[in-house]
Chains A and B, each alone.
Chain A
């Protein structure tokens, strides 16, 4: 059974880059069966898809975030990662790594953008 776990700093300064890692267990990130994704949820608000990627390197980003998002995969560590540049207070959210329609979600990582 697939299990996802987010990790990374909980506090990021404005204008800096947010970086999160998702560790995959119970399966291999080296599959083309699905694309590994990130979803975020600002406090008290709804869910927003950030992007998804296949381990082959093909990436697909939400157009509203595309200019600031980079996703990558590390097959040696069975992990995939998210970078969001030039963050502002509006990027404060719980960030989930997920295979949404398969019902596989990490527990979420709260990232606060503040000086």
Chain B
């Protein structure tokens, strides 16, 4: 089983600032990595797949990077609606999710 580890567990950032979330895979997943945003009571919303490709309708302030075992999600100039839970997910060998990073208002 591929284990996905996200860091930090909680990230406190002020609106307008930049946030960087990290995700590490226990073995290479090539670029088969997706990022999701989830708000209370809602299904996960796909932000990024293929490690760096924004999904349809996702603002350009969201960007993904990395390959192999190390990945990042950058959110430039945080907006109020960006404060939420974020999950990474590998789909190189079926699916495994990270435990999530809570992006909270500082």
B-contacting residues of A (Cβ < 8 Å)? 37, 39, 46-49, 52, 60, 62-63, 96, 98, 100-103, 105-108
In the complex, are the beta carbons of B43 and A48 less than 8 A apart? Answer: no
A47 vs B35: C-alpha distance in the bound complex, in angstroms? 12
CA distance A39 to B89 in the complex (A): 12
**Contact partners of B32 in chain A: CB under 8 A:** 101
Nearest CB in chain A to that of B45: its residue: A103
Chain B interface helix/strand/loop/mixed: loop
Q: Which B residues touch A60, using CB under 8 A?
A: 94
> From residue A60, how far is it (CB to closest CB) to chain B in Å?
6
Contact B34 A52 (CB under 8 A): no
Q: Determine whether the beta carbon of B99 is less than 8 Å from that of A46.
A: yes
Q: Does B1 contact A (CB under 8 A)?
A: yes
Interface of A is mostly: mixed
Q: What's the minimum C-beta distance from B74 to chain A, rounded to whole angstroms?
A: 19
Count of interface residues, chain B, beta-carbon cutoff 8 Å: 20
Contacts of A37 in B (CB 8 A): 95
B44 lies within 8 A of chain A by Cβ? yes
Tell me the B29-59 residues at the A interface (CB within 8 Å).
32, 34, 43-46, 49, 55-56
- Let me know if B34 and A101 touch, CB within 8 A: yes
Report Cα–Cα, A39/B96, bound state, in Å. Answer: 10
* Cβ–Cβ < 8 Å partners of B87 in chain A: 46-47
Contact in complex: A105, B95 (CB < 8 Å): no
Q: A98-B43, A101-B91, A101-B95 provided; 19 other pairs, C-beta below 8 A? A: A46-B87, A46-B97, A46-B99, A47-B44, A47-B97, A49-B95, A49-B97, A63-B1, A100-B46, A100-B89, A101-B32, A101-B49, A101-B89, A102-B46, A103-B45, A103-B46, A103-B56, A105-B43, A107-B43
